[in-house]
A and B are shown apart, each in its own frame.
Chain A
Amino acid sequence: MTRYLIESGCYWDWSEVSRRTEELAADARHGDERFLTVTPASGFDVVVALVAGFTLECELVIQPPPPYHSQLPDRSVGPGVWIYTSGTTGSPKSVHWPWRRLFPLKHNEVGDIKRWGIGYAPASFAGVSAICQALSSSASVEFLTPAWPSTRTDRHPLTIAVGTPTFWRMACVHAFRGYKEPAKIDVISMGGEPVDDTLLSAVRNTFHPHRIKQIFGATELGAGIHIDDERGGLPLDAAGQRQSSGAAFDVLADRLLLSPSVGLPYVETGDFVEIVGDRVFVTGRRGLSINVGGTKVSPQAVERVLQEHPSVLAARAYAWRSPVVGSVVAADVVLVPGKTEDCRRDLRAFAEAHLAPAELPRRIRIVEEFVSSAAGKVLRS
């Protein structure tokens, strides 16, 4: 079986990836030996840069895509990768990850070559982390767009496919429109945004994976908590308990804390949470709110309620200018395949029953799909 890399319909044999890596490494040796700076235009570029940077044991700086212009690190902190946060709540910030954390030492696995489908933005922390895991096991890599279920021509099954919840919601929509059975996937993993039961059910019924994993973490802290019980949110009884990876979460008042490994302190993730029954749900994020007449509304909390409605597959909430109260909440929703506009009145009643007046979307649009941000997350502007 051949190892390969696929992106945007292009197929590269791994020897091509190796050749480009050697070229980049050779160029880098002529420049600053400590830093290798790249502005990748594709997932292929990120793979090449990671392999070259790891081989050279230098500091690889992966610049964020335009319109951001990041400042280069002003100091050397050791071999590793400088990655920039998604900038969801401000300008992207640089975070350094040592190579040993990204490429843990392990033997290449013998037997069938694994196939990784990567739906995260390649230059994001989640994307880089997934690529490094794939490379560590000598896997083939395929970069996926949300439309892949209807456009992918390669019918080979994927060992693991990863992406944001927004990516998976849109993939479900495209799978339905594709009118063909999507390729088999062994494990589906999602992180970077809150996950709810509606999404887990849609992914289960659309792709029939053996396992679905949710990942809670932050670029600054790394991927931390893995949950695979196929329920939205974190299990409350796991708070304060170390996972096998050494990571643990806890809740302080309404805030989510994460400790990446044994001996490291719990750090605020910036997420606000709510405990409902035996689960801990992420309801919002610091710096991400809509000001409705002086009341701060979390768009994520609104989205979670809308997505609990049986007709809604995906929702995004955002501010809509109001001459009366400054802003009101507006929402776009993608309906579960087969549902129609007839559910609009019922959705409104459902929202009224579960949301405060300031949180209630005063404008609801039913749309075919969302455009996601460069980081693969819900675009709220």
Chain B
Amino acid sequence: MSNNQGDMVIDEDVMRRCVGHVLPGVEDFSGLDTRFDEIGLDSMLLAELIVQLEEETDGMLDLHVTGRLETLRDLMLSLRPLREAE
């Protein structure tokens, strides 16, 4: 899985693992089109999820939102390595 810049940043397995860490018990969410509110992902948990993704990818991430940010797929497509934003 790649983001909209073509960079390999986060794949579905990584996302699933990180969501499971932040929200124990919801590892079996239906997929990347799961909406944040379906799994109780508020802004603080979203921030924590990004921290987890940074740990998994061993880098800093930045959020480039150009449209909706409602699903895990939206999040995945909006995240880029921080160095690209600088």
Q: Which A residues form the contact surface with B (CB < 8 A)?
A: 292-293, 320-325, 328, 330, 357-358, 360, 362-363
- Cβ of B62: which chain A residues have Cβ within 8 Å of it? 323
Verify B43–A323 contact, CB threshold 8 A. no
Verify A360–B44 contact, CB threshold 8 A. yes
Among B42, B44, B60, the most chain A Cβ lie within 10 Å of the Cβ of B44
**Is B76 located at the chain interface by the 8 A CB criterion?**
no
Write the nearest CB–CB distance from A211 to chain B, whole angstroms: 43
CA distance A363 to B48 in the complex (A): 7
**Is B77 located at the chain interface by the 8 A CB criterion?**
no
Among A293, A320, A322, the most chain B Cβ lie within 10 Å of the Cβ of A322
- Cβ of A362: which chain B residues have Cβ within 8 Å of it? 44, 47-48, 51
Verify B43–A324 contact, CB threshold 8 A. yes
CA distance A322 to B46 in the complex (A): 10
CA distance A363 to B42 in the complex (A): 17
Verify B63–A323 contact, CB threshold 8 A. yes
Verify A363–B60 contact, CB threshold 8 A. no
15 examples of A-B residue contacts, CB within 8 angstroms: A320-B51, A321-B60, A322-B50, A324-B43, A324-B47, A325-B44, A328-B44, A328-B47, A328-B48, A357-B42, A358-B44, A360-B44, A362-B47, A362-B48, A363-B48
CA distance A203 to B4 in the complex (A): 55
Q: Which B residues form the contact surface with A (CB < 8 A)?
A: 42-44, 46-48, 50-51, 55, 60-63
Verify B51–A363 contact, CB threshold 8 A. yes
- Cβ of A322: which chain B residues have Cβ within 8 Å of it? 47, 50-51
Verify A357–B44 contact, CB threshold 8 A. yes
Write the nearest CB–CB distance from B78 to chain A, whole angstroms: 9
Verify A328–B51 contact, CB threshold 8 A. yes
Write the nearest CB–CB distance from B17 to chain A, whole angstroms: 15
CA distance A348 to B11 in the complex (A): 26
Write the nearest CB–CB distance from A80 to chain B, whole angstroms: 48
Write the nearest CB–CB distance from B5 to chain A, whole angstroms: 15
For the complex of A and B, list the 9 residue pairs with the smallest distance between their C-beta atoms, beginning with the closest: A323-B63, A362-B48, A324-B47, A322-B47, A357-B44, A363-B51, A362-B51, A328-B47, A325-B47
Q: What residue of chain B has the Cβ atom nearest to residue A363's Cβ?
A: B51
Q: What residue of chain A has the Cβ atom nearest to residue B79's Cβ?
A: A323
CA distance A358 to B61 in the complex (A): 20
Q: What residue of chain A has the Cβ atom nearest to residue B62's Cβ?
A: A323
Q: What residue of chain B has the Cβ atom nearest to residue A326's Cβ?
A: B47
- Cβ of B44: which chain A residues have Cβ within 8 Å of it? 292-293, 325, 328, 357-358, 360, 362
- Cβ of B61: which chain A residues have Cβ within 8 Å of it? 323
Verify A324–B55 contact, CB threshold 8 A. no
- Cβ of B63: which chain A residues have Cβ within 8 Å of it? 323-324
Q: What residue of chain A has the Cβ atom nearest to residue B48's Cβ?
A: A362
Contacts A322-B47, A324-B63 known; list 5 others, CB within 8 Å: A323-B61, A324-B47, A328-B44, A362-B47, A362-B48
CA distance A150 to B58 in the complex (A): 34
Write the nearest CB–CB distance from B49 to chain A, whole angstroms: 9
Verify A324–B60 contact, CB threshold 8 A. no
CA distance A362 to B18 in the complex (A): 12
Write the nearest CB–CB distance from B70 to chain A, whole angstroms: 14
